[in-house]
Structure 1
Amino acid sequence: MKKLFVLLLVANMAQAQTWQAVPGRIKTPWSEKVTPGQVLPEYPRPQLVRGNWKNLNGLWNYAVTPRSAGNPAAYTGKILVPFAIESALSGVGRTVGKDSLLWYQTTFTRPAGGKKILLHFGAVDWETEVYVNGMLAGSHKGGFDPFSFDITPHLKKKGEQTLVVKVWDPTDQGPQPRGKQVRKPEGIWYTPVTGIWQTVWLEALPETYLATVKQTPDIDQETLTVNTTVVNPVPGDQVLVSAWDNGSKVAETTIEPGGSAVLKIPSPKLWSPSSPFLYDLKLEITRKGKAVDTVKSYFAMRKSSMAKDEKGVYRMLLNNKFLFQYGPLDQGWWPDGLYTAPTDEALLFDVEQTKAMGFNMIRKHIKVEPARWYYHCDRLGMLVWQDMPSGDLGNRWEPRPGIVGRGTDQQRSEASENAYRQEWSAIMDALHNSPSIVVWVPFNEAWGQFKTREITEWTMQKDPSRLVNSASGGNFYPTGHIIDLHNYPDPAMPDADIYGGKQAIVLGEFGGLGLPVDGHVWQQKDNWGYQTFKTAGELFRRYQEYMKKLKELIPLGLSAAVYTQTTDVEVETNGLMTYDRRVFKNPVKSFWEVHQQLYDNK
């Protein structure tokens, strides 16, 4: 055992010597904890857990070639997966662009056990082809949704297997969803993210297995509906579904493979920011009394809805009660990893500190996070508004103070529309089981906004269990549950009677109070905020004034508000924290204390 430990230590040291983070950028405290032998080692999919898996994160070979060229004749060097090639933690720090291809290559051994081997990618931006032992295993388009391939037919019986991944990403020169990535970062537009940026992993499965599980709570009926997809079922197979409360079984039923179960959850414990209770869920495929495949998951009993209050104003409700929702605009960028947090501890830190500052909601702004981020929100009790990442912006409408947009929809190409629809559907499917998500946001500020009524109504039909904010700060139509104003810097609210007063009203963005902190900025010059201050005290006094204004708007009909923003991002210095997460611009306790007045709805 001691000899084995020494060999592993020597191997890890040799691997580490071939990689170092790109110098010259500020780093988070977790950057120093990143080592090639231990990169984001946590199980990446908390909603569908099995034990037999292998993490492929680590040092891979990479090359960048002209798009017109074939396979690379040789690889350039090493890249640390899953950090995007442009990031410091990748060890490379270079751009790729629309005229080039990014290639990855690594080897692995087949996991022990299991007749089927699935290869999973958390996210790859944007167009991906995957080859195993020289054979095409599959392709995928989409920069924010997880995807998998059954690579069993392409594997050798034993020995090393070769994996090659080819990626093309046009960033802002293509019509695909890409969030705030641009070729030339400035202002509110940031560095491109190309290629693999979430965990890559293998899973060993039996011939018959559960591929998907979808769970939807109904607190009024005290039920949980569970839908399953089973691969290669055998006649006579059954799926045993059971719900658990801290080790005690509360419900159980048996269904046919691919069927739907309705579990009765008696006297359910309701999930909320103040009491984020999670039930355990267990599913087993059984054959002649024996378990063929077993997965573990979790769920929560909670309801996101809206209804009129005693004054006839529509309010956003949680569990049939009005709760003012207040949180920061959270863009999920990192100075060392760009889209990718250095460690799971770092990913958790932002959520924990947001909660500690007294916020009860996060608007995840035109980005989708790894599944573990939503898991942290689920278990900590953080409401989430989930944006669809923007793309194909065209001639976007820019919001004016106090004005709700009433422009026209953009005309997008068929390819552009298809890319949007495909990815939005995949994102909603991937995140459906997360109880923390209470609002879907298809569009932001008319950036690429098209066929608003159709997209909004499709979103509502696809997931009736959540509210839909059709276009946060964008062009509004009498569709969806919410009308949303962006107003900088002061708090404001849209007209409660717009479109007949049939929507809840929210302030989807405001604030943006800036304070650059020397030694903790992305660059030394040309940093900015929507309103910049010289001292933390001046900034906080203005923030206190804004909280008083917000409190005055709540009885007038305001259901929620979003402050810009959680952290500085590149040249934007309007975060509650610096970009490197090393400095809070005012004490956490001070924010918590000033926020409590917003939740007293008496």
Structure 2
Amino acid sequence: MENNAPTAWPSSQGGHVVPPSGPCGYNKSRGVHKALDARKVKTPPLTTPWTYEAGTNPWPQYPRPQLERPQWQSLNGIWTYQNASSIDAVNSPPYNQTLPNEVLIPSCLESSLSGIQGEYTIYSWLATSFSVPTTWTGNRVLLNFAAVDYEATVFVNGRNATFHRGGYFAFTVDVTDHLRANGTNELLVFVHDPTDSDPYVIPIGKQTLHPLHTFYTPCSGIWQSVWIESAPSSYITQLDIAAGMDGQVNATVSSFGNASASVQIAVIDRKTNRTVATHNGASNVQCTFSVPSVSLWSPDSPTLYDITVSLGDDEVSSYTGFRTIARGEVNGIERPLLNGEFIFQFGTLDQGFWPDGIYLPPNRDAMVYDLQTLKKLGFNMLRKHIKVEPALYYQACDEMGILIFQDMPSLRPFQQRTLDNCTIVTILPDAAQQDEFTRQLELLVVQQRHFPSIVTYIVYNEGWGQLTNYYPEFGLTDLVKQLDPTRLVDSTSGWYDHGAGDFSDNHHYANPQCGSPFYSIQSSPYDPSRIGIQGEFGGIGQNVSIEHLWNVQEAIDTINQTYEIDTTIEAWNYRGHRLLGELLDQVKMYSCSGGIWTQTTDVEGEVNGLLTYDRRVLRPDVAQWQADIQSLYTAASSRVNASMPAGNGRL
């Protein structure tokens, strides 16, 4: 096929090649940037339109939009790398040495964008150097990592600065006392990422060292942004802001250096840049205040308000959206409520894998393209499937009005090991591993609860890592609701449902069984005391030519394991129409409150995406899908009692 995409997005016919949005469209004539040549980018099994747009200053945006400081410096770019032989290598750091390989940060070491495209990169050294601006003199210097998979030991100028465990979560360390008074500072990071190697049982989601049909190439190393920033001696460490449909704001400003410092909070109308409310309080205690006549956040009207918070000489910026998430009975059926109203929530299973970047797209334009495609088709929600994205992803969903069901990355999914007595057992966490899973679930909620778009947390997917000798989902659900009482919890999406949480969640391929009086052995029967939702369905596939496939033979050999293969794009669209029609019947006749279609894009050997893995072919007949999805919303709306009082519901 031609490398240059057409200039217009197809308005109706499915299966057309589509261009990316924004200024970074794929164009063969642009070639590879000279800077990229210098670090010898590896050729991936499949490119996207953005593969050669990453440059040597990747992801230049401030990485943490919910707590942004004005004085900061990105450390993204070309670092150096070398493989290490064992965990003991951490005891012999290669200080003042030039590591032999160049690597792009942030990136997965297994990705082509990294310049490494490694395999079994379990132990790694990564290094760079940085200078602190002279204008920061007298302030603290904070070093931030948005995510390192899986364990990171950080050295600054030959001193151990910190250790962090958890491949999806951000961490910060004050490195002021490790810095040289003048000149360049050496930053070394030792990364240990066992993925699913024995005896480790850790949150990995769909990553595996041995890719097969529904489990994919892993991501190791510094895969999200790194930056330094300047802060005064007393500074803000965390903002927790929840804003409801009644205009009430609950805010906690956590601080370092002064246990009860005075804080000032200002709420600013983003459209007019006018301050609409201010509040004075103290750090490290929750404060409550009201904003009059707020415009509410919803998928149809994703209104956001900017926020500034001051603590002494420290001032940070943030934002929020006023909305309330609850559940309540509507015409005798348990429903999810947004701002007091039942809105049918329909989205895709979104796994967030990329052929060139694995866990991280080449740039923001690529990331936003997937979201724009979903909005164009009419989806108002997505399920972020057992992965946590960079904060900029959730900011984009906040701004575009996309509801998010956020999964906790799962432990090893139904893998088995053979014991010395030849008994084959399913790998499940021991007590210490379960405690670590719980700790990281807590990190997930604490770090994600700022984003208005997140409406539901999912604890377990299809029993993966879910203990069977007791029902841990009850305690974990209580933990999540304690940490964030403003959202719903889908305790078990599919399979081993014992009654915990807010949802009765069915998985079934290809056709749905949503809130219905029929079910299969793969899911529990619908429980009318909770919200009925189709947590996964669809999954129909359509094979494409090799230029749109993950060109790895082991993956190609598994294509026929797709739930259903439709041999033409017309058949694929016909089947999609019929399956969405079945879901429509269940919305009209039964108790279906939402659905999740598998999936946004193809991934490696899976060919059941709305988009191919390279994002160059869109399968849906756009007009057909828009009409079918709108029919779901219309049917759900017709079942709502218009006289139901606003705000009726409970968490």
Q: Relative CO higher for 1 or 2, CA cutoff 8 Å, sep ≥ 6?
A: 2
> 1:71-150 alignment to 2 at 5 Å?
71-72=93-94, 75-97=99-121, 100-114=122-136, 115-150=139-174
State the partner residue of 1:535. 568
- The CA deviation string for residues 216-250 of structure 1, in whole angstroms up to 9 with x for no partner, is 12324x30111011111287x42111111131222
State the partner residue of 2:387. 367
User: Secondary structure of 1:271's match?
Assistant: coil
State the partner residue of 2:431. 414
User: Secondary structure of 1:442's match?
Assistant: strand
> Given the superposition, is the C-alpha separation of residues 241 and 201 from structure 1 closer, same or farther in structure 2, using an over 3 Å criterion?
same
* TM superposition shift of 1:585: 1.2
* Aligned pair partner of 2:397 in 372, 377, 390: 377
Residue identity in the other structure for 2:128: T
Residue identity in the other structure for 1:122: A
Q: What is the alpha-carbon distance in structure 1 between the residues aligned to residue 102 and residue 567 of structure 2?
A: 43
Question: Aligned pair 1:547/2:580, yes or no?
Answer: yes
State the partner residue of 2:455. 438
Q: What is the alpha-carbon distance in structure 2 between the residues aligned to residue 61 and residue 586 of structure 1?
A: 43
Question: Aligned pair 1:423/2:440, yes or no?
Answer: yes
> 1:145-544 alignment to 2 at 5 Å?
145-173=169-197, 174-220=200-246, 222-233=247-258, 237-245=261-269, 246-286=272-312, 292-310=313-331, 312-394=332-414, 412-450=429-467, 451-494=472-515, 501-518=528-545, 519-523=547-551, 525-526=556-557, 527-528=559-560, 529-544=562-577
* TM superposition shift of 1:566: 0.2
* TM superposition shift of 1:13: 7.9
Q: What is the alpha-carbon distance in structure 2 between the residues aligned to residue 280 and residue 332 of structure 1?
A: 28
**Structure 1-normalised TM-score?**
0.91
- The CA deviation string for residues 268-289 of structure 1, in whole angstroms up to 9 with x for no partner, is 2111100000011111124xxx
- The CA deviation string for residues 93-119 of structure 1, in whole angstroms up to 9 with x for no partner, is 11235xx51000111101343311111
- The CA deviation string for residues 165-203 of structure 1, in whole angstroms up to 9 with x for no partner, is 001111112211011111110110000111110011111
* TM superposition shift of 1:74: 5.9
Aligned-residue RMSD, C-alpha: 2.0
* TM superposition shift of 1:588: 3.5
Aligned residues: 568
Moved more, 495-504 or 51-60: 495-504
* TM superposition shift of 1:474: 2.8
Structure 2 stretches lacking a partner, 5+ long:
1-31, 417-425, 518-523, 639-651
* TM superposition shift of 1:23: 1.3
Where do 4+ consecutive residues of structure 1 move more than 4 Å? 12-15, 494-500
**Structure 2-normalised TM-score?**
0.84
* TM superposition shift of 1:258: 2.1
> Given the superposition, is the C-alpha separation of residues 563 and 548 from structure 1 closer, same or farther in structure 2, using an over 3 Å criterion?
same
User: Secondary structure of 2:84's match?
Assistant: strand
- The CA deviation string for residues 528-582 of structure 1, in whole angstroms up to 9 with x for no partner, is 4211111111100110111111111113110110000000001101000010111
* TM superposition shift of 1:411: 5.6
Moved more, 196-205 or 499-508: 499-508
* TM superposition shift of 1:76: 2.7
Instruction: Quote the sequence identity (%).
Output: 36
Q: What is the alpha-carbon distance in structure 2 between the residues aligned to residue 533 and residue 278 of structure 1?
A: 42
Structure 1 stretches lacking a partner, 5+ long:
1-11, 287-291, 397-408
State the partner residue of 1:7. none
Q: What is the alpha-carbon distance in structure 2 between the residues aligned to residue 345 and residue 428 of structure 1?
A: 27
CA contact (8 A) 1:514 1:533 kept: yes
Q: What is the alpha-carbon distance in structure 2 between the residues aligned to residue 169 and residue 478 of structure 1?
A: 35
Question: Aligned pair 1:592/2:617, yes or no?
Answer: no
* TM superposition shift of 1:599: 0.6
Residue identity in the other structure for 2:432: A
- The CA deviation string for residues 425-444 of structure 1, in whole angstroms up to 9 with x for no partner, is 11111111100000000110
* TM superposition shift of 1:415: 2.4
Q: What is the alpha-carbon distance in structure 1 between the residues aligned to residue 428 and residue 478 of structure 2?
A: 18
Q: What is the alpha-carbon distance in structure 1 between the residues aligned to residue 44 and residue 483 of structure 2?
A: 46
- The CA deviation string for residues 24-52 of structure 1, in whole angstroms up to 9 with x for no partner, is 4211111121112x211111111111111
